[in-house]
Amino acid sequence: MLGKVLFIDKAHPLLETELTKMGFQCEPGWELSKGEVEALLDQYIGLVIRSRFAFDAEFLAKGTNLTFLARTGIGLEHVDLAYAEKAGISVFNSPEGSKYTVGEHALGMLLMLMNHLNRADREVRNGQWIREGNRGTELRGKIVGIVGYGNTGQEFAKRLQGFDVEVLAYDKYKSNYGNAYAKAVSLATIWERSDVVSFHIPYERDNHYLVNTDYLSHFQKPIYLINTARGLILNTADLVDSLKKGRVLGVALDVIEYEETSFAHLDLDQLPEPFQYLRRAQNVVLTPHIAGWSHEAKVGHAQVLVDKIRQKFQGKA
């Protein structure tokens, strides 16, 4: 046996099946509290996690036999990566697993926004037949700026093919990343030329509230804004101010800054006024952090982690 793996969060059954075949003993732990997990931690060489609680240095230090964390999903802001590296704990995530559905979701939200599909649907259901008030704006001929050209940014760019748009991409972590789907440009060019901007970047301390009044003021044209990345990269109050002033024509958010670590169990009625404004606004599309939540992505995340763990333990069974 390679060792014991504790599933702190549920994952697609494929992950447990394949880890068991590799020689791991998998045990459920999704009903255990953080304290209960901490008390048992030295028994395990691996943890399967999502985002139920934080994995800080104090917690990880109790895992004296830990060799890996496997995060089913993308964000790792709740993991002390510096400590994990120092302790020799590999941290795997699976952005490749949901890149296709995030690309599709971002495109769907943009089309809803520009063609008033959500509003028109509500109106018809309420017995209103309003045509002129729902006249749409074509995507054709627009310039789409993508900030963050990794897994999901590239998939969004691919899905824009056929819409007769020009796609620009900016990624501060990459070089020579332009391809057949997007031209690599500077952030200044994104600000100057974009009609639409879509964010596909991870959350880091350096980009907390990256998108604020100052950032939005750099755009030379009114824009449509999409965020399927992380809520805390965007200052909601500043976004609302830009919406009111017409600097932002419409916004589509799958994530919001008020989400807790678990990205769940939000009491929407108790959130601050800027979010209440977004709920009331006609030029806003909101979804509950589901851009990467397809049935296929759940399998995809599991398979990606299987491949990464197998590579780590190749020949050790």
Catalytic sites, residue numbers:
230, 259, 289
**In 139-286, which ranges are E strands?**
143-147, 166-170, 183-184, 196-199, 223-227, 248-253, 284-286
Sheet with 248-253, side-by-side order of all strands: 183-184, 166-170, 143-147, 196-199, 223-227, 248-253, 284-286
Query: What is the rounded CA–CA span in Å between residue 85 and residue 125?
Result: 54
| SS3 assignment, position 219 | coil
CA 116 to CA 244: how far, in whole Å?
18
Half-sphere exposure of 148 (CA within 13 A, CB side): 23
Q: Write the DSSP symbol of residue 253.
A: E
The phi and psi torsions of 253 (rounded to 5 degrees) equal -120, 125
Are 303 and 14 in contact by the 8 Å Cβ rule? The answer is yes
Residue pair 70/309 in contact (Cβ under 8 Å)? The answer is: yes
What does the H/E/C string look like for 15-39?
HHHHHHHHCEEEEECCCCCHHHHHH
* Nearest-angstrom CA–CA distance, 71 and 7: 10
Residue 190 burial (CB count, 10 A): 21
> Can you name the residues that pair with 24 across neighbouring β-strands?
3
